Structure 1
């Protein structure tokens, strides 16, 4: 509050020396600082660089539950925001903060915006980022879903399965890769076919380190194990790069019981009645077990 009060006094003085400062924290922990001032500024553990070309286009904020949003423009460069990092999705969902600061005394500053990066577009050597305020989270549906399949995510707190246990993951160097989407190994027979279907492939080294993709299919083809992703990893992958394959789950009761021995944490309702049961009615001489009406 003292910092904001000092800034208000500065703004009330008529002659002002203020600049906007932007901080970005990616999900992998990488931190960036930008400012529209002509010199670098430093505070809050960030160095806000002046030669990045980042600027705000618009800022909308409210006191109600409507979504705060803003946009920022910037130039792509190898030393700040690179085209390769944007293509790889490394800035997706990154945390963003914006301050209005007195560049002659950065102790006088006020936090204007806090949120995350939404849609990010690039063209002509520049990028345009949609920034979403904290109220964006209020649009997410919450509450329990009653359905036959499990609603937990494999490995999360509700599920409780430890994917670091032997048998639930495999770490291998890439032996063959096609379009950053189809991977092949000659010796990986210790896991059953389709063991990794619906699982996750995580890149642990090389240019794609930190990126991951969802596994669409896990099969054997002529002695080779073939793992296919739903979408390509958005980075240049090479033979020898280390990847981690994590077992997949189809959310079924039997899979939880037999594959993961985790029935006590099953988050679905396998015995919940279906639509046919809701529409059934008693009939003389017919099977009234609650099964399909077409039986």
Structure 2
């Protein structure tokens, strides 16, 4: 439960109150932003909360136990506050949001109602809806390693050990044109189709310099070399913008061995028997000599 200071509790006991909600948003890059549903700017707890965003929230509730509580916050997308490009780029993914109940006549009288993490963000008609999830959300995340057939390392990290600076695994190119989430590029003609599928593209010049995009597909067609991105370009890009892109890995043992010659560092269990083996039964002609199920 939220702790209500005595001064605010006394105000809540009055017949007429002057209350508003304030939201303090802290992004992963450290930037702090303040918003309020009041019609004036409010300075409270070291943060200035701006009214221009028109934020509003759904009903919030707090459950006992370990259930994950959620509340939606809705607001307008604008270039001055929350830009659509920043939302698409993932700058608000996992950001923390503190909800304050404030006496706008005396901003020093406030209470922290909840602290939440931004989960899913939906965009439509120039507006956004952010789902705020309670801290118990962290208890629902997978921790440690899981026993599965696919590799659980990230290509190029300390467990994988593939050197992505090697010219075999990294390319550089220039944007030719865009169409939706597909981009036609030059400079990657020496690489076979699919080489960069599941890889990471990093813009090195232009308005998107420094932004990273996941590549979902890499192909060659009549337009030349085309890369499909997992989501629309994070910021405005123009023909001539430069980028680098790393080879992709689908986490399969066969890919690790054939493409990267890195089977010794594979971090999965490719020979793990599946449910078909666990539920199988004796059939005439099978060999039961205690040998491995998978060669």
TM-score bracket, shorter-length normalisation: 0.7 to 0.9
2:117 equivalent in structure 1? 116
The answer to whether the 8 Å contact 2:171/2:188 transfers is: no
- Over residues 161-194 of structure 1, what are the superposed CA-to-partner deviations in whole Å (9 max), with x where a residue is unaligned? 4545654333433133333313321x33454543
- The yes-or-no answer on 1:250 pairing with 2:250 is yes
What TM-score comes out, normalization by structure 2 length? Answer: 0.75
Post-superposition shift, 1:22? 0.7
- Partner SS state of residue 120, structure 1: strand
Give the 5 Å matches for 1:197-208: 197-208=197-208
Map of 1:145 onto structure 2: 146
- Distance verdict in 2 for CA 1:235–1:223, change over 3 Å: closer
Residue of structure 2 equivalent to 1:226: 226
Structure 1 match to 2:100 = 99
Find out whether 1:241 has 2:241 as its counterpart: yes
Of 130-139 and 26-35, the range deviating more from structure 2: 26-35
Aligned partner of residue 154 in structure 2, secondary structure: coil
Describe the SS at the equivalent of 1:175. strand
Taking a change above 3 Å as real, the CA distance of residues 72 and 276 of structure 1, as seen in their structure-2 partners, is closer
Distance in 1 (alpha carbons) for counterparts of 2:242 and 2:169: 17
Distance in 1 separating the partners of 2:159 and 2:286: 45
Which runs of 5 or more residues in structure 1 are unaligned?
A: none
Other structure's SS at 1:58 match: coil
Choose 84-93 or 278-287, whichever is displaced more.
278-287
Residue 10 of structure 2 is aligned with which of 12, 30, 54?
12
CA contact (8 A) 1:119 1:129 kept: yes
Cα 1:206–1:60 change in 2 (3 A) is: farther
What's the CA shift for 1:107? 4.6
Unaligned runs of at least 5 residues, structure 2: none
| Cα distance in 2, alignment partners of residues 232 and 77 from structure 1 | 18
Q: How many residues align?
A: 288
**Aligned partners of 1:248 and 1:160: how far apart in 2?**
14
Q: Does residue 1:37 correspond to 2:38, yes or no?
A: yes
Deviation at 1:273, TM superposition (A): 3.5
SS at match of 1:272: coil
Correspondence 1:47 to 2:48: yes
